[in-house]
Amino acid sequence: MALAVALVLVLALGALLRLTNFGRVIRTVAFSETVARLVGAPVGRVRVATFFVSGALAGGAGVLWSLLFQSVSPFMGETVLLKGLTVLILGGLGNVAGALAGGLLLGLVEVGSVVAVGAGYRDAVGFGLVLLILLTRPTGLFSSREAKRA
């Protein structure tokens, strides 16, 4: 159930960013605040709304995490914080589908490393993969080239 709810949240976020005018404004502000102001986007309100959406998603993730492990504490997300950053780097910043694919790739690589070399090297293999990706494709595996135009 937690996996299904998480997948629905990811798909909803992707749809929000790609299919709505609000998502277009968020992407414009992320591209350049100056350009967003020039086209009349309310940059301040977009920032507040973006923080609200990210906080709601973080709250949903916290609820799902607490349902999985039947415990709640202010520090329960610290164990997955570094993995989340790793997934963002793998997938490419600002790419929701890339983050999802990066998470699946990291999970598969870590499970494969447990089978191949042992559980003690799981994190080392995962972060070694991130280092390799950063050296070869600094923008992430699934990032797209973006033409800068104004």
CA distances to 6, 10, 109, 114 from 3, rounded to whole Å, are: 5, 11, 19, 22
Render each residue's pLDDT in the chain as its tens digit; 150 residues: 778 888 888 888 888 888 988 888 888 888 888 888 888 888 889 999 999 998 998 888 888 888 888 877 777 777 778 888 888 878 777 777 788 888 888 888 888 888 888 888 888 888 888 888 888 887 777 776 554 544
> What pLDDT does residue 66 have?
83
**Tokens encoding 70:** 């039947």
> What pLDDT does residue 150 have?
43
Question: Which has the closest alpha carbon to 85: 125, 52, 53, 127?
Answer: 127
> What pLDDT does residue 41 have?
86
Confidence (pTM): 0.64
> What pLDDT does residue 51 have?
92
Question: Which has the closest alpha carbon to 26: 5, 49, 56, 3?
Answer: 49
Domain ranges of the chain: 1-72, 74-149
